[in-house]
Amino acid sequence: MTTRPLIIDTDPGQDDAIAILVALGSPEFDLLGITTVAGNVPLSLTSRNARIVCELADRRDVPVYAGCSRPMVRTLVTAEEVHGQTGLDGPDLPEPTMPLRPEHAVDWLVDTLLAADDASITLCPIGPLTNVAMAIVKEPSIVTKLREIVLMGGGFFEGGNVTPAAEFNIHVDPHAAHVVFTSGVPLTMIPLDATHSALMTNEWIERVRALGTPVGVAASEMLDFFERFDMDRYGTAGGPLHDPCTIAYLIRPELFETRNCHVDIEIGSDLTMGMTVVDWWGTTGKPANCIVARRIDPDGLYDFIHDRLAAL
Ligand code: RIB
Ligand code: CA
């Protein structure tokens, strides 16, 4: 099997953790490295949590690089109310012993991409886009080295989850999102419209727990903690599992309903700052710059995630 070179840029976060585990349980990928960014919790904790997850999967070989500790322009907004004070509340996991790599994540992204073949690297940002945007600003030519970016972020028909207009990853760093969405990179956005169409069930979380492995038990304890916020807010019987949808899209795209659209990022209005303005009906005449996912097959998605967790 030809493996696909993959980089995950992340702000763990329980759903980020599941995305990393699913990627590690997928032989289709060669995970070149993980870059961490401030988001759900400050950078020191996202960098800690990424290494905890790698060690949970017995993958100390995966290099982890710390990136930007704050957005490009705005002040950092975090989400301890969702993810807990550590960002990985739920399971009781040991502190990481594997070190961070010394290079800054932005420098490593630039160096790695410049050394790669054209259109060869897949990048999955599942947190604020600060690292990705800073790399593009530092070295615009890296865009030609990316096969595609598949990101979790945004919302249109579903609105936002931080403000009525903005989803968290875009809300935290809308200027970074603007850089990415105007870069010309082949781009797919997995927004709240998609992730909210496929909610976890208690039965599924119990299937994960019943794996009985360190990964299965810890993942179920992460999800027990993580899903309560969205269940309370939306009054649903289960919560969405945002970030692993990017990995699922790369391997099982047939599970996703998508459309090629023009997407703009609001960076001017305080009221709608960070809104992903999706031209779903083509009213602007502007050329499409992003494949937008709107719905996911929930049974297919959660069978996929379960099976890849079971492989660890
Ligand atoms: O809005 C959901 C996104 O924000 C997910 O990536 C979650 O981990 C948080 O970063
Ligand atoms: Ca995230």
- For the chain (312 residues), the mean pLDDT of every run of 10, in chain order, is 95 98 98 98 98 98 98 98 97 98 99 98 99 98 98 98 98 98 98 98 97 98 92 89 98 98 98 98 98 98 98 98
Atom of ligand 1 nearest to the CA of 12: 8
Atom of ligand 1 nearest to the CA of 79: 9
Q: Which residues line ligand 1 (CB under 6 A)?
A: 11, 13, 15-16, 39-40, 126-127, 152, 161, 167-169, 242-243
Atom of ligand 1 nearest to the CA of 126: 6
CA of 15 to the centre of ligand 1 (A): 7
Beta bridge partners of 199: 240
pLDDT tens-place string over residues 3-44 = 999 999 999 999 999 999 999 999 999 999 999 999 999 999
CA of 43 to the centre of ligand 1 (A): 15
CA of 76 to the centre of ligand 2 (A): 14
Beta bridge partners of 5: 30
Identity of the amino acid at 262: H
Residues, beta carbon < 5 Å, ion ligand 2: 11, 13, 16, 126-127, 243
| Residue entry with tokens 């950092």 | 76
Q: Starting from the CA of residue 170, give the closest ligand.
A: 1
Look at the chain and report how many structural domains it folds into.
1
The pLDDT assigned to 111 comes to 98
CA of 169 to the centre of ligand 2 (A): 7
178 is catalytic: no
Atom of ligand 1 nearest to the CA of 39: 10
The pLDDT assigned to 258 comes to 98
176/162 Cα distance (integer angstroms): 17
| CATH, residue 104 | 3.90.245.10
In sequence order, the 6+-apart residues with CB closer than 8 A to the CB of 77 are 162, 171, 172
In Å, how far are 94, 241, 290 from 220, measured between CA atoms?
Answer: 17, 12, 33
The pLDDT assigned to 1 comes to 78
- Set 178, 196, 242, 306: catalytic member: 242
Q: By residue range, what is the domain housing residue 247?
A: 4-310
Burial degree of 35 (CB within 10 A; 0-12, 13-18, 19+): buried
